[in-house]
Every structure is written in structure tokens, then in C-alpha cells.
A and B are shown apart, each in its own frame.
Chain A
């Protein structure tokens, strides 16, 4: 793993943001966390790379409006006062209406032996529809990393500085959009492998939702901090949410070969094999053999024997 560079981007933030961020880092170190690994995933073109750049404070990942720019996952590491922040930017796993299996493979291989503390699931605030494709994305993430990853998940909605459609307030729109996405996560994550015997846990609605506005036209407050339409400064806000999720009770996800390969179909029900074998021997084979013996004994002998 490359050594982390000094987090110089922090100094470019306005003072209020810097103070807030350093405070958050402080609380993390108190809880004995000196590093944090964040995985950023989502469809193509929603603003994953822009969000990474905004949080890091520099143009660490290339961003291009019209092309999908990240062909492979990239980890950006920054260090500050003994704390290392690792953010992994990934290619969109959906391009053109289909799950991009190749991108998914690249991501899985990149993550081998890394531990994911937080998953940022990124989508646009200003999309109006949630459909089967979103459900597929959630399913694929669940299948690749296990249901538990959603306990470390944060839903990130970009383009947060939006004018909502007529007759909906910003709060209403935000509430409905979040609800739609969280419902999809519920159904996609719940319908994981081996679900039928377990009760469907409602994971989705415990997941926090963060708002992000990466454009330079983002409104600013008097302290020159970028703010959301409701006045919150969003960079410290999202970092705080990330920190909270990282230090919650659930364990971080270690991506080992077993997790990547997925449940081995050959392992399933393996215990039953000797039992079934025993059953077959005693109750089927033996019985048929005794029947054959009886038939031979009962058969009339022909004259030339």
C-alpha cells in the first residue's frame, strides 16, 4: 500500500471547516482509530469522483463530465496528525443499463485483504425514479461483500443544491427520494443469499443519508463554507457521519478471498452426505440385495443345472 501523503487539502478549506474536521479526527483517535477506509460505489456519472475530490480538498481523482473516467479503482490516502484517511474511488458498476461485471471484478480484486470501514453508496438527489436497476446494484453489492456491509453504509445524494419540482418543498423532495432509495436497499439487501430461513431485517432505514454539492457554484455561508439549502456546512457534516458509522457497533468488513469467491455451492449441506450414504446403504442397498437373493432362491431350477 502506498504511503499516505500529507493531507494538505485540509488547509485549503475555510477555517470553520478545518476546525470541524480536525475535531472529528480527534474523536476518532480517542476511540483508538488511527485510520479509516471508505469505499465509494454507485452508478456511473453520479458524482463519486467529485465527492472524493471535495472531501480530500484537492483534485485527487480525475473527473470528466461526459466520459466515464475511472477505469479501475483508485485509493487516495491522506495523513494528518497521525490519522490516515483512505478513500477508494471505484468505476461506476452500472454503465448503460447493465451491471458492469468487469468493473465489479476489478473492484473485488482491488479490495482483497483490505478492510472496509464505511461504504458510501452514491446517487443523484435530482433523479426522480428508482427502478429495478438500482435494486440490481444493491443486490450485487450485497452478494459481493455480504449483507453486513450495509450496517456500515451511508447513502450519499449529490447535486444537493437543487430546486425541487413544483409543489414539493426541498424537505419533502429529499424525504421522498431518500425513502425510495432506502426502500430499494431494504429489498435488495434483504433478499441476499440464504435469506429464506431468516427473518428479513430492516437494514435500509437505519442507514444515514448525506447530502453533497460538489459544484463550485455551491452556496457559501459567511465563513466561506459550502452549505446546503438548509444552511448546513456539508463537508464536516458528511465526514462526521462517516466517522459515526465507522465507530458504530458493527464490525468493519474484511474483504478476504472467501468473501470474494462467495459461498461455495459445494459446501452446502455437506454434513448430510455421510448420513445419506448410510441411509442408502442400510435401507436401500441391503434391502434390494436381500430381495435379489430371495428371488434367486425361489426361482425354479431348470433341468440342465
Chain B
């Protein structure tokens, strides 16, 4: 489908430039699934980036229970964004939602993961850790090399005695700590991994600059900014994550330590079974035979 130019002209030119850069590197598609808790603004973000109301959003109810893929094409470049249901509802990981997402992604390649949360949430807790762990378990640790943390409600007035940048820094830091923890990165890897942070303000009341672009409190136009971050991550050296059956099923516990089975068997035969058999034979020989045997 054509990528509609409901986006203001500046933004779409920028997007086309990015698309051109990407095309030069021979990547035809970019797939981005958005993951996170319910009610954080995933569907609204997808709608904003695409520039049309492609996914239904509702302030008060959970969104559609299944993932949807939105594809838009422009100058030979296809952008596929996969919007997913929040798989945390009511304090628990919704395993069913996670299964549906995994099945939907079978045989697709994920170029970028958008991990969406609200900027104006003040606490980071074990629930966030569980979400990160669930994502890591489902798609492997490598997916975090292709991840962007997206904060919605970016047009926020920070609480008293914190500037916007200070608040943003602390919020990012807490969430990234959780990601490092949940994805089980070893200490030396953490240095190499820097997960970029994207800011998003989906409300119609978002402030605009003279070119009618939606801007963040620091003046940046956020739609091109996030598309650029997405592109940068997509062009990274690490490979995109191919979601194959093996990945979905997860590591097979039956495969673990399979090599040792013959060794253990040999050990048991030679060092355990044989001595016992010999000892039994000795006992039988040494036995005092009664007169009537």
C-alpha cells in the first residue's frame, strides 16, 4: 500500500531520504514489532508513524487481541510495522497473547523491536522485568541489539524540582537497567550495547513548529527522529532476528548435555556395574555350602 502523504511534507521528504539510504544497502523491508504493556500507546505510535489511523485505539479498553501488520510502500521501500497486543494485563504475563504473537511472527524477520512504555510512569518494577524476560525468552537475547526504547506521552511537564532532561535521564536509566537485567547481559556486553531511546507524543495537542511538524519539548520533530533511529538500528551490523520454529519452541531441554550420555553410560558400566558383579561373584564363591546343597 502507498505510504500516504498525510504526513507533512518535510517529514515525508525525510522519510523518503531515509528510505533511499536503506535501499542503497539492499534491504527491502523493515519490520518493527512494538511490544509492551497494555495502554502505553503502542497502537497510537503506529498510527502516528504511518500517518493514518490504521490500528484502532481506545483509551479505556484493551486493544485487539491479536497482532496486526501494517505495510506501507514508498519509492520501492516497504515498511512493515507489527502492532501487538500488550501481553501484560493485570499484573501477569498473558501467555496466550505471547503465544499468538510468536505464531504471527513465524518465518518473519524482525529488523527492529520497539519497546514501548510511558514516559510519565514513575516506577519501574518486577512487572517490567517480567516483560523483558518474556521477550528475551521468546526471541533470544540478540533481539535487544535491535531494540529501541520508545517513551510515549513525551510532552510531559516533569514533577517539581526536576528538569525535563533530568527526568528523562533518570527514567531511561531505570528502564534500561531493567532491560539489561532481564535480558541477562553479562557485564562486559553491557558496554557494547547501547539501546537508543525514542520519544513520542501521539496526542493531537502535540506542539508543532513553524513547519507544522509535531515537536518534543526540546524542539525536535519527533516523527522523522524516530524513523531515523529505526533506520539506524535496522542498518546495524548484527543480523535481523529470524523467527523460526526453533526460536519459538525455545531451547529443547532434551538436547542439553546429550553428549555426556554415552560417557556416563560407559562410566557406569565399567566403574559401577562391573565391580558390583565381581563382588557378587566373590561372595558366591566364598560362601560356605550347607550339607544339603
Q: Which chain A residues have a beta carbon within 8 Å of chain B's beta carbons?
A: 44-45, 65-66, 68, 95-98, 126-129, 131-133, 136, 163, 165-166, 168, 173, 176-177, 180, 215-217
User: In the complex, what's the smallest C-beta–C-beta distance from A192 to chain B, in angstroms?
Assistant: 20
Contact B170 A128 (CB under 8 A): no
Question: How would residues 32 to 76 of chain B score, 1 for a CB under 8 Å from any chain A CB and 0 otherwise?
Answer: 000000110000000000000000000110100000000000000
Would you give the shortest CB distance from A158 to chain B, in whole angstroms? 11
A168-B90 contact, Cβ under 8 Å, with A45-B122, A128-B39: no
Nearest neighbor of B121 in chain A, beta-carbon distance = A45
At the interface, yes or no: B168 with Cβ under 8 Å from chain A? no
Which B residues fall within an 8 A CB radius of A? 38-39, 59-60, 62, 89-92, 120-123, 125-127, 130, 157, 159-160, 162, 167, 170-171, 174, 203-205
Complexed CA–CA distance, A136 and B162 (Å): 33
Count chain A CB atoms within 10 A of each CB in B38, B92, B159 and give the residue with the most: B159
**Inter-chain contacts of B123 with A (CB < 8 A):** 44-45, 66, 68, 95
A216 touches B160 (CB 8 A): yes
Which B residues lie within 8 Å of A126 (CB)?
A: 120
B residues less than 8 Å from A98 (CB atoms):
91, 126
Asked if A217 meets B59 with Cβ closer than 8 Å, knowing A98-B91, A126-B120, A129-B39, the reply is no
Is there contact, CB below 8 Å, between B62 and A129? yes
Contact A128 B60, beta carbon cutoff 8 Å? yes
Q: Does B60 contact A96, Cβ atoms closer than 8 Å?
A: no
Bound Cα distance A98, B157 (Å): 29
**A243 shortest CB reach to chain B, Å:** 28
Q: In the complex, A177 Cα to B204 Cα: how many Å?
A: 20
A-B contact pairs, 17 of them (CB 8 A): A45-B121, A45-B123, A65-B167, A66-B123, A95-B125, A97-B92, A97-B126, A127-B39, A131-B90, A131-B91, A132-B89, A133-B90, A133-B91, A165-B203, A176-B60, A177-B60, A217-B157
Contact A96 to B125, CB < 8 A, known contacts A66-B170, A66-B174, A173-B59:
yes
Residues of B within 8 A of A165 (CB): 59, 203
> Whole-angstrom distance from the CB of B186 to the nearest CB of chain A?
25
Assembly CA distance A182 to B126 (angstroms)? 27
Select B203's contact among A133, A163, A176, A217, beta carbons within 8 Å: A163
Residue of A nearest to B37 (CB): A129
Main secondary structure of the interface of A (DSSP, over half): loop
The listed residue (A97, A131, A216) touching B130 by CB distance below 8 A is A97
Judging by beta carbons under 8 Å apart, are B125 and A180 in contact?
no
Q: Which B residue's beta carbon lies closest to that of A43?
A: B123
* Minimum CB distance partner of B93 in chain A: A97
- B126 to A129, Cβ gap below 8 A? no
Nearest-neighbour CB distance to chain B for A44, whole angstroms, equals 6
CA distance A216 to B62 in the complex (A): 33
Beyond A96-B126, A133-B90, 15 additional contacts (C-beta under 8 Å) are: A44-B123, A45-B123, A66-B122, A95-B125, A97-B125, A97-B130, A128-B39, A129-B62, A131-B91, A166-B204, A166-B205, A173-B59, A215-B159, A215-B160, A216-B160
Residues of A close to B59: CB separation below 8 A: 128, 165, 168, 173, 176
Nearest to A64 among chain B residues (CB) is: B122
In the complex the two chains form, what is the Cα distance from A128 to B120 in whole Å?
Answer: 13
**In the complex, what distance in Å separates the CA atom of A128 from the CA atom of B130?**
21
Residues of B within 8 A of A44 (CB): 123
8 Å CB contact of A163 from B91, B121, B174, B205: B205
For the complex, give the distance between the alpha carbons of A168 and B57 in Å: 13
Contact A129 B170 (CB under 8 A): no
Q: How far is the CA of A74 from the CA of B241 in the complex (A)?
A: 51
Q: Which 6 A-B pairs have the closest CB atoms?
A: A96-B125, A132-B90, A96-B126, A97-B91, A131-B90, A97-B127
CB A207 to nearest CB in B, in angstroms, measures 19
B122 partner residues in chain A, CB cutoff 8 A: 45, 65-66
Interface pair A215/B157, CB less than 8 Å apart: yes
For the complex, what is the distance from the CA of A176 to the CA of B174, rounded to whole Å? Answer: 32
B residues less than 8 Å from A95 (CB atoms): 123, 125
Q: Which residue of B60, B120, B121 is within 8 Å of A129 (Cβ)?
A: B60
Residues of B near A166 (CB, < 8 A) are 203-205
- In the complex, A245→B157 CA distance in Å? 33
Set of chain A residues within 8 Å of B62, measured between Cβ atoms: 129
